[in-house]
Amino acid sequence: MSYRLPGLATAAALLLATATTASADIVVTRDGKFLPDKIGEGLSPDEYPSDDALQRSGRGNVELRYDKVKVGRDSVNAGFVLDVYCTEASRDPVFSNGMNQARAGFFAEAAASFQEASESLKDGDRQVAMWRRLECFRLAGDADKAKAAASQLIAAFPEGYYVPQAYILLARIGVSQGKASEARDALGKIAALPNVNARDLFEAAVSEIDWLVFPAARNAQGYAAAEKAYRDLVQKIKGKGAAAEAAIPLMKAQVGIGKSLVAQGKGKEASSFFTDVVNNKESLTDKSLLASAYKGLGDIVYMDVQAKKASAGKDQAQALINELDIAALHYMRVCHFYKDEAGDSLQPAWQSGAQVLEWQFDMAGKRDAEALSLLDRSVKMYYQAHKLMPNGESKRQLTAHIRELLDRANELRTELEGPSDK
């Protein structure tokens, strides 16, 4: 059984970035600081800590909880934690073998290694091993084993740092399987956790709107209701004084407002919600968030040109083509820069990007090599969108459209190159 989840490459990057020679516990926070404080000088939050720094930090002293994370005498609210590097797990040869297997893309084998390692490790190191195992099942697309691994982690560490994230994974699987009640139940359990950090609390709240409310909207009234839900969540986060700790879910809610406005045909109102996100340095810690914001910016241009092009004269065509270049740039960011993390934004970005190139071909009205190249690129992007679509009527319609464009491209190719001698 396979399924898609956003942010899979982020998990893979974390697996691949973890070194196998570490011998100490270090926690990195979202603002680029380190715990313990004594080892922060000279280190970069974007790079794995050096062996020397790991040695200086101490060993086996991390406590991973969903309210606070502690390293020796230092502690930080769990909502501000970015990365955790554990001692005994990274020194364990079976765990290290799992890291190597994950690094090579053998996720099933890596999951088995992490399972074996978790049986001998303790406390935070064991929790990390169990989380890595869960990530491997997620990366492998095995929903049933991921669900079982999530339940096992929650049972083993009911107050563990990764428990809210395990519930979010369970909810996402429920959504992918069409089990909305299971998804809501999993997200509700996060809110019920005593003293859960604000980041995970509001991540669950925005996920419920993203996965269950917004997709259910079918008309302007439905999208207005989704917009209100997102706006209410923004106000709740700010009202709780959690804007810093819950920065990512706050920005996801802002993107949700923007998406809801675009769906209602209010592109100009939506623009600031997307630009505020891409200009916020906090968004750099979540590429799926950036992907959705850039897709939103592309959609605004797309929608504006769509409204203009039917009545545009030949003298206006080039201006619209230039506008579409901006939309194409936004979609290309999603499809290429953030493709591994884009999640639900990826397929529509490929499809809208392909439509943009097709429109540019039609509006230019040229019959030359440049026009053929544009049409070929459009077809290739449609293919990418097609591969990511579930079976159904929409996919069938896109199949027919691709065939039509291929016929047009072949006709133009023959016109430019002449009939084949064969």
Burial (Cβ within 10 Å: 0-12, 13-18, ≥19) of residue 304: middle
Mean pLDDT for 233-249 is 97
Structure confidence by residue, pLDDT tens digits, 288-297: 999 999 999 9
Residue 52: Cβ-neighbour burial (10 angstroms; 0-12, 13-18, 19+): exposed
Short-list 200, 249, 238, 160, CA closest to 79: 200
Q: What is the pLDDT of residue 419?
A: 65
Band the pLDDT of 22: cuts 50, 70, 90.
very low
Residue 406 confidence (pLDDT) above 80: yes
What percent of the chain is predicted at pLDDT more than 70? 88
pLDDT above 50 (res 5) = no
Q: Determine the Cα–Cα distance for residues 173 and 114; give it in Å rounded to an integer.
A: 22
Q: What is the mean pLDDT of residues 192-202?
A: 98
- CB atoms < 10 A from the CB of 188, how many? 13
Q: What is the pLDDT of residue 411?
A: 95
User: Per-residue pLDDT averaged across 387-413, rounded?
Assistant: 96
Rounded distance between C-alpha atoms, residue 231 and residue 257, angstroms:
7
Instruction: Report pLDDT for 242.
Output: 97
What pLDDT does residue 35 have? 79
The pLDDT confidence band at residue 359, using thresholds 50, 70 and 90, is very high
Taking the C-alpha atoms of residue 313 and residue 305, their distance in angstroms, rounded to an integer, is 13
Rank 11-15, 20-24, 54-58, 272-276 by mean pLDDT and report only the highest.
Answer: 272-276
The one-letter amino acid code at 270 reads A
First vs last Cα of the chain: how many Å apart? 46
Across the chain, mean pLDDT equals 89
More confident residue, 362 or 39: 362
Q: What is the mean pLDDT of residues 250-275?
A: 97
* List of residues 6+ apart from 421 with CB closer than 8 A: none
Identify the pLDDT of residue 420.
61
* Statement: residue 208 has pLDDT above 60: yes
Q: Cα-flanking dihedrals φ and ψ of residue 59, to 5°? A: -145, 145
Q: Which of 35-44, 198-207, 338-347 has the lowest mean pLDDT?
A: 35-44
Lowest mean pLDDT segment, chosen from 28-42, 140-154, 258-272, 321-335:
28-42
Q: Which tens digit of pLDDT belongs to each residue from 34-73?
A: 877 666 565 555 655 555 555 555 555 789 999 999 987 8
205-226 mean pLDDT? 97
Work out the pLDDT band at 20, boundaries 50, 70, 90: very low
Percent of the residues in the chain that have a pLDDT greater than 90, as a whole number? 75
pTM for this structure? 0.87
User: What is the arrangement of strands in the sheet containing 81-85, beginning at the earlier edge strand?
Assistant: 34-35, 26-29, 81-85
In contact, 403 and 362? CB cutoff 8 Å: no
Residue 89: its pLDDT value, please? 80
- Rounded CA gap, 201 and 206, in Å? 9
pLDDT confidence bin for 87, thresholds 50/70/90: confident
What residue segments make up the domains of the chain, in order of their start?
Answer: 8-156, 309-422
Q: Which residue has the tokens 């956003």?
A: 6
DSSP conformation class of 160: B
Give the mean model confidence (pLDDT) for residues 320-337: 97
What confidence score (pLDDT) does residue 99 get? 87
Q: What is the pLDDT of residue 52?
A: 59
Torsion angle, alpha carbons of 128, 134, 137, 138, to 10: -110
Q: How high is the pLDDT of residue 43? A: 59
What's the pLDDT band for 6 if we cut at 50, 70, 90? very low
Note the pLDDT of residue 312. 84
pLDDT at 323 over 90: yes
Average pLDDT over residues 75-98: 87
Which span out of 16-30, 41-55, 86-100 was modeled with the highest average pLDDT?
86-100
Q: Is 280 left (phi over 0), alpha (psi -120 to 50) or beta?
A: beta
